C-alpha cells in the first residue's frame, strides 16, 4: 500500500470511530462513513468490503500494532496505535485501552460489543499463541494449547469488562498485575 492509500484507509477508520462514538454500530451507515471521511463510495469499497469488515479491520489494527512491536515485523510504527511498547503484551493492550485510543472503549461498551468481541478474541488468541509472555510460562504441561489459549483470552476479556465497569481508576499496570497473577 502506498502512502496515499494508507492515509485514505486511516481517514476511513477514524471517521468510523468518530461515528461510533456518537451512535450505535447498527445506526452507522457506509454513506455516513464516506461523508465523514470525505471519500467516495468506490474508494471505501476499494479498502473495505463491508461495514462489518471495517469493524474487523479496526480491531485488527490494534492487534497488528501489538504484534509488530513484539515480533518486529514492522518497525515503522505507522498506524492508529503508535507508542513505545512495554515489555508485556497484555500491559500494552491495557495501556491502549486505558488511553482509550481512538475511542476503543466505546466499541467495548456499545451495542456492537458482540461482533467487536468476537474479532477481539480471535486476534487476542493469535497474540497469545505468538507471544513469549509470562502467560505461556504459566501454562500447565497437561493442558492442551488450544484450551489454554481460549482460557487466557476469555479471562482477559472478563478482566477487561470488569475493569471498565467496576474499577476504571486502576492503572494498566495494576490491572495487568491482577490478570497475570490470577491466571
Q: What percent of the chain has pLDDT over 90?
A: 34
- Domain residue limits, the chain: 51-182
Burial (CB count within 10 angstroms: exposed 0-12, middle 13-18, buried 19+), residue 13: buried
How large is the average pLDDT for residues 120-133?
80
- pLDDT higher than threshold 80 for residue 132: no
- pLDDT of res. 94: 85
H or E element at residue 118: helix 113-130
Bigger pLDDT: 169 or 78? 169
Q: Each residue of 84-98: b (16+ CB within 10 Å) or e? A: ebbebbbbbbbbbbb
Q: How confident is the prediction for the chain on average, in pLDDT?
A: 81
How large is the average pLDDT for residues 99-112?
63
Bigger pLDDT: 51 or 77? 51
- pLDDT of res. 72: 56
What pLDDT band is residue 81 in, cutting at 50, 70 and 90?
low
What pLDDT band is residue 152 in, cutting at 50, 70 and 90?
very high
- pLDDT higher than threshold 80 for residue 30: yes
Grid cell 504441561 — which residue? 141
How large is the average pLDDT for residues 87-106?
73
pTM for the model stands at 0.71
Bigger pLDDT: 72 or 164? 164
Amino acid at each position: 500500500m502506498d502512502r496515499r492509500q494508507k492515509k485514505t484507509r486511516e481517514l476511513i477508520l477514524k471517521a468510523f470511530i468518530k461515528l461510533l462514538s456518537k451512535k450505535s454500530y447498527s445506526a452507522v451507515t457506509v454513506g455516513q462513513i464516506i461523508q465523514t471521511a470525505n471519500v467516495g463510495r468506490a474508494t471505501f469499497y476499494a479498502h473495505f468490503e463491508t461495514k462489518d469488515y471495517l469493524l474487523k479491520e479496526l480491531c485488527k489494527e490494534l492487534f497488528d500494532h501489538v504484534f509488530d512491536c513484539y515480533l518486529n515485523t514492522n518497525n515503522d510504527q505507522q498506524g492508529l496505535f503508535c507508542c513505545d511498547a512495554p515489555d508485556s503484551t497484555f500491559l500494552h493492550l491495557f495501556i491502549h485501552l486505558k488511553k482509550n485510543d481512538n475511542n476503543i472503549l466505546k466499541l467495548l461498551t456499545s451495542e456492537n460489543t458482540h461482533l467487536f468481541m468476537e474479532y477481539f478474541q480471535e486476534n487476542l488468541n493469535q497474540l497469545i499463541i505468538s507471544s513469549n509472555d509470562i502467560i505461556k510460562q504459566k501454562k500447565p504441561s497437561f493442558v492442551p494449547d488450544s484450551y489454554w489459549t481460549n482460557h487466557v483470552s476469555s479471562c482477559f476479556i472478563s478482566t477487561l469488562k470488569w475493569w471498565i465497569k467496576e474499577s476504571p481508576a486502576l492503572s494498566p499496570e495494576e490491572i495487568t498485575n491482577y490478570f497475570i497473577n490470577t491466571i
